[in-house]
Amino acid sequence: MQLGNKEYRLLAGPQDWRLGFKTRGKPPKQVMVTKIGPGSWAEHAGVLVDHEIIALNNQLIKSMTHAEYVRITTEVRPMEMIVFGDKPQPKGGAPAEAGTSDESDDDDDATSLSSEDVEALKEMIDFHLKDNGKLTERLREIEQEYADHEKCFNSK
């Protein structure tokens, strides 16, 4: 669906876990599509090399962290993606411009995570582990308080 001059809204449904594209840049800076995997959601949706991803689920790329970007693109479905660039060409439509496809690079999986993505995922996991650690610590404090109150009550 066309939104503006060259902005297009695309939707990844609950079944679309592997999006099949690679990017250059990371939020809050510009994120550009650099490769599309053959047969992927991105190819079927019409994402093109050189499309700029400007928003995910109504959140602008320039206002999110890299960790948020990775979380949304890997964990959230349905996911709405707004891209800026040439009109998307869904599979079966007009062919993409020459040079935008790199089918000869069979060893490069367009759905693999970059080292930046892996680092962002590690940050998210560390954050959740710290949160769980704080909750575990508080639970132990509450259990100790309960045991102290029980001792006090039973000694009377």
pLDDT (tens digit per residue) in 33-80: 999 999 999 999 999 999 999 999 999 999 999 999 999 999 999 999
The neighbour count for residue 109, using CB atoms within 10 Å, is 13
What pLDDT, on the 0 to 100 scale, is given for residue 152? 80
Q: Could you tell me the residue ranges of all domains in the chain?
A: 1-111, 113-156
Q: Which CATH superfamily is domain 1-111 in?
A: PDZ domain (2.30.42.10)
Q: 72 or 97: which carries more pLDDT confidence?
A: 72
As a whole-number percent, the residues of the chain with pLDDT over 70 amount to 67
How far apart (Å, rounded) are the C-alpha atoms in residues 35 and 15? 21
What is the SS3 assignment for 140?
helix
pTM above 0.75, yes or no: no
